[in-house]
Structure formats: structure tokens, C-alpha cells
């Protein structure tokens, strides 16, 4: 076999506790909605991580991104306000740092259907190339972040963009509500309606127009 780079991935098998239960699909994985992470048969069950049937890479980065969605949707479910159209949604984000040689790593970040979701490329770093910086991220930053933050439920590099987006959505909603409140009512005042009715009795044409354009 000839190759330039061989990246070996061990086989993934479901946990027997899940595979042998009614929670699993035919393959033995916890079957959940790929966006809301809610079980497809038991609405009070959610799942994240390697046990799930999600069509994305089974990595710690994926579980961390899923956790934020799980937290928001669990809170909404317990508050009785979970709706499919407004539920938090997981986009399939996962990350795989591939060691190409000593001191060099290619950091791959993608979502569902292979969507590129590179974080460092926004800083001008070409993630399609092996990088010494990515080696430092894998060997120094990620282990420290995993034990100090991720295992305690903190994922700041994923949470900050979500917080900013929620803030923008809230401001847009407030601006739209203020604009709607500032517009004059399209419905005529009661006195105007009475006047229209009086005119309508005298003119069938006006009555038809009033009815057609009424509130």
C-alpha cells in the first residue's frame, strides 16, 4: 500500500447498555434528532457524545458543541417551552487534529454534510496546511482546556459566538417591535368607521370599497 499520509481510526461500537435497550436504533446507537438531540421516541430523553447516532465525527469537540444545545433544550423542556422551531440546534460541528509529523498538525473542523467550520481561518490561518501553531493547540491548549473547562461544562470558544448571536437577535427583535409600535394603526377609529357606514348607506360603491379595504 502506497500513501503519503495514513490516518488510522479505530472502529466505533455502541455501548451495550444502549445497544441492548429500546433507546437504540438498528445499529445500536442512541437515536436522537440530529439538531435538537432529543430522542426520536422518548421526548424526555436527550443524548450527546459517542453513544449517539449523529452523522458526524465522534470527538470531544463534537460533544462539547452538543452540550450547549443539550443544556438549552433541557432547560426549555423543563420550563415547558421547548418548541421544534425555536429549539437550540446542533450544526454537526466536530474537530479532528491530525498529526502529520512531529511538530505539525492539520486541524480539521467541519459540520454536517462536510460543511467547513474552521475557526482559525477567520484569523488568517490556512487550516488546509499543517501548522506548528496547531501542534501547540493540540499538545498544550486542548488538554488544558479539556480538564479545566470542558469537563466542567464550559466551552467559551463555542459559547461566545452563540451569546453574540442571541444578543443581536434580541436587539433586532426589539427594534422591530419598536418600529411596529411607532407605526399608526391601519384600522380606522370608531368615529371614522361610523362616518364610513353613514356614507356607505348613501353610496354602494363606497361601501364596497370600504368593505374590501377594511381591517
Q: Kindly report, residue by residue over 146-190, the tens digit of the pLDDT.
A: 898 888 877 777 666 665 566 666 777 777 777 877 776 554 444
Q: CA 113 to CA 55: how far, in whole Å?
A: 9
pLDDT surpassing 80 at residue 89: yes
Number of neighbours of residue 39 by Cβ within 10 angstroms: 17
Above pLDDT 90, what percent of the chain?
54
Measured over all CA atoms, what is the biggest interatomic distance in the chain, rounded to whole angstroms? Answer: 95
In this prediction, residues 9-26 reach a mean pLDDT of 92
Number of neighbours of residue 158 by Cβ within 10 angstroms: 18
Element containing residue 97 per DSSP (H, E)? strand 94-101
Show me where the domains of the chain are located: 16-162, 186-215
Element containing residue 134 per DSSP (H, E)? helix 132-136
Residue range 128-145, pLDDT digits in tens: 999 999 999 999 998 998
Supply the mean pLDDT for the chain.
Answer: 82
Reported as a pLDDT band with limits 50, 70 and 90, residue 213 is very low
Amino acid at each position: 500500500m502506497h500513501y503519503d499520509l495514513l490516518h488510522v481510526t479505530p472502529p466505533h461500537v455502541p455501548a451495550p447498555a444502549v445497544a441492548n435497550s429500546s433507546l437504540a436504533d438498528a445499529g445500536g446507537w442512541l437515536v436522537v434528532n440530529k439538531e435538537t438531540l432529543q430522542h426520536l421516541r422518548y421526548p424526555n430523553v436527550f443524548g450527546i457524545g459517542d453513544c449517539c447516532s449523529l452523522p458526524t465525527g465522534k470527538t470531544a469537540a463534537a460533544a462539547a458543541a452538543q452540550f450547549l444545545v443539550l443544556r438549552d433544550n433541557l432547560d426549555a423542556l423543563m420550563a415547558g417551552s421547548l418548541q421544534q422551531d425555536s429549539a437550540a440546534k446542533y450544526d454537526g460541528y466536530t474537530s479532528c487534529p491530525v498529526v502529520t509529523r512531529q511538530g505539525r498538525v492539520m486541524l480539521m473542523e467541519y459540520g454536517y454534510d462536510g460543511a467547513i467550520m474552521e475557526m482559525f481561518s477567520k484569523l488568517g490561518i490556512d487550516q488546509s496546511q499543517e501548522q506548528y501553531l496547531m501542534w501547540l493547540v493540540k499538545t498544550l491548549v486542548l488538554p488544558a482546556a479539556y480538564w479545566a473547562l470542558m469537563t466542567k461544562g464550559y466551552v467559551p470558544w463555542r459559547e461566545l459566538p452563540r451569546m453574540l448571536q442571541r444578543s443581536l437577535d434580541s436587539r433586532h427583535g426589539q427594534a422591530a417591535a419598536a418600529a411596529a409600535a411607532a407605526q399608526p394603526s391601519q384600522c380606522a377609529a370608531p368615529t371614522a368607521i361610523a362616518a364610513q357606514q353613514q356614507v356607505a348607506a348613501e353610496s354602494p360603491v363606497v361601501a364596497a370599497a370600504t368593505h374590501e379595504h377594511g381591517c
